[in-house]
Structure 1
Amino acid sequence: MVADTPLIISPSQLYQGFNENQDVAILDSTWFMPNSPRKAYDEFQKKRIPGARFLDLDRVASTHELGLKHMMPSDVLFKTACEEFGIRPSTHVVLYDTHGVFSSPRALFMFRSFGHLNSSILNGGLPFWEVESFPVDLDAPGPLPPKSEYPLPPLDEKAIRSYEQMVTNSALSTASTASSAEAELVLDARPAGRFTGQDPEPRPGLSSGHIPNSFSLPFGSFLKIQQGPQGSTYTVFREPSEIHDELKKVVGASHAERIIKGEATAVTTCGSGMTAGVLWLGLKLLGAHKLGLYDESWTGYAMRETSKIEKA
């Protein structure tokens, strides 16, 4: 594995890898909200980066007692998926989506949490690739490459937070001055209206609001919108200095520095654990390393009748 593989790469960097015949596996990790009419796999079949395979984040996932989707897979399931894609430990895995940046950071979080450090996202995804005039494949996808052998990977247990851990941490935040200093800082990637309870959740019957003592940091704060093909738009990550500024606006300069220096742990959450990956990756770009992700996120939290929900 390559420890210094960049977290994000540009289309030109990926294309250079093609020319150098590097061991690269390109995975389309596009995901759409359940209420979207668009279907990720259908779009993948019609257009993709040459050689790309489709990573279904809802399929490469563990089952959950509440029926939640795209939960972190087991080590066996991750190993099996890598072998089906022909991925070896030495393979540079490049993940992209068709939004620009949306679901690919969640896929990167999965690979990095299982120790596959030789992994990156394609900044700007397929739209930026097209803007740069690199080739796209419009034919039907070909067969998968020959299966590889992939060792059973260890999961970084510190990467994932459970419901119980989130409840305990929320209480710890207000217990006392001493214990409050030890509490993890919870950053919520949902739009502000859903965080405050003013706007409804996209999942019917689910209350909006937020976990007590968490911070509202919409994932779009870390991204900027670019002009795409034929008048469309797509997203790319902001520069680290801009991400730093957005973080400071929400948690304050002191907390921001503590996160970046590793003096405090930040835990990201969102609606279902998908865009929490955007915040996770943005913080990684700032050099933060004490990070976690609440896998169930708001859907799992709000579905439980015993959960304390704050609004406003």
Structure 2
Amino acid sequence: MSFILRALRRPAFRFMASSYSTTASEAPLLISPSQLNKDWNEKQKDIVILDTTWFMPNAPRDAYNEFQRKRIPGAQFLDLDKVASSHELGLKHMMPSNAVFADNCENFGIRPSTHVVLYDTHGVFSSPRALFMFRSFGHTNSSILNGGLPSWNAESFTIETNPPSVSPPKSQYFFQSYEQMIANSSLNPSTSVEAELVLDARSAGRFTGKDAEPRPGLSSGHMPNSFSLPFGAFLKTVQGPQGSTYTVFREPSEIRDELDKAVGAAHAERIVKGEATAVTTCGSGMTAGILWLGLKILNAPKIGLYDESWTGYAMRETSKIEKA
């Protein structure tokens, strides 16, 4: 039995501290470029840095090719589509099996004690999804680099351009199945205390059905009794060198304000206090990770993620789709 699989069976640490601080058992959710640079230089053997960049299927860019040309020194590339389980509908970047996750951890040289730092080249886009995966498997010694590669570059830290050398524990982190989402969609969160609050990270136009989905032939709209909360609401754009821009997370108070606007102050309070479960979703399970991490920054204790998200939901003819 591999040491990673043994580690995955240990009880997960319950997150109680501030999202901007660390405990003996858990790393901060967000880490700054200066802190990563300091830690990397002081204890390089205890840190693994992973580039988790992912682009929409219709984007004319290749994440791995860009990684080979430009990355944080010592970083390795984590392909979220390849480190995934097969899916009946052919969906990408679904949660991996225990064995797949363990094998990839070993390939990256990740031990139970390793601090895993995840980043992407957008600033903040796909790295929260990767963090959700690590924390779901009980590896709480994991963080994202706030602002990603652009923030690292903006602080003038070294960029590497040469070719690179090349049963889970019980946890409060969980991902939802289609059957669970269907059952929940019949519950009105305003009248049922058992209803989970579903937060949709897609744009408002896609949520209402006004705008088309980027995946051909897929209907837009939303699940019954869900709330629109576009992922950009939790992020802000900052100016980098030479006019470049990138995204970072907003301050916790601003994230809370956006949550209040989306679901109402009463529902937001229930989420933060753990009186209600929030489930994040998006187009394919990627940017749902941004909402998930934003709620973790607020210390919300009960948060799920619908792995296959809108693509899996809308592809099934039996799914009820609402518009407007």
- The letter of the residue matching 2:32 is S
Are the equivalent residues in 2 in contact too, given 1:75–1:155 (CA < 8 A)? Answer: no
Cα distance, 1:159 vs structure 2 = 0.5
- The answer to whether 1:225 aligns with 2:240 is no
TM-score scaled by length of structure 1? 0.94
Aligned to 1:148: none
Aligned to 1:147: none
Q: Deviations over 1:231-284 (max 9, x none)?
A: 221100000000000000011111111100101000000000000000000000
* Aligned-residue RMSD, C-alpha: 1.4
Q: Deviations over 1:201-243 (max 9, x none)?
A: 0000000000011000000000000112432211000000000
Aligned to 1:111: 134
Are the equivalent residues in 1 in contact too, given 2:84–2:93 (CA < 8 A)? Answer: yes
- The answer to whether 1:169 aligns with 2:191 is no
Q: Deviations over 1:178-205 (max 9, x none)?
A: xx22100000000000000000000000
Distance 2:134 2:170 in 1: 10
Aligned to 1:160: 175
Are the equivalent residues in 1 in contact too, given 2:273–2:300 (CA < 8 A)? Answer: yes
- The answer to whether 1:204 aligns with 2:232 is no
Are the equivalent residues in 1 in contact too, given 2:255–2:294 (CA < 8 A)? Answer: yes
Are the equivalent residues in 1 in contact too, given 2:135–2:173 (CA < 8 A)? Answer: no
Distance 1:246 1:158 in 2: 22
Aligned to 2:301: 289
- The letter of the residue matching 1:42 is N
Distance 1:134 1:193 in 2: 39
Q: Deviations over 1:48-104 (max 9, x none)?
A: 000000000000000000000000000000000000000000000000000000000
Gaps in structure 1 of 5+ consecutive residues: 144-151
The within-5 A match list for 1:3-42 is 3-22=25-44, 23-42=46-65
Distance 2:38 2:117 in 1: 13
Distance 2:172 2:29 in 1: 20
Go from structure 1 to structure 2 and tell me whether the alpha carbon gap of 1:161 and 1:153 turns closer, same or farther (over 3 Å shift): closer
TM-score scaled by length of structure 2? 0.90
Q: Deviation above 3 Å: which 4+ runs of structure 1?
A: 152-158
User: Percent identity, aligned pairs only?
Assistant: 76
Aligned to 2:6: none
Q: Deviations over 1:34-57 (max 9, x none)?
A: 000011000000000000000000
The within-5 A match list for 1:88-107 is 88-107=111-130
Go from structure 1 to structure 2 and tell me whether the alpha carbon gap of 1:155 and 1:83 turns closer, same or farther (over 3 Å shift): farther
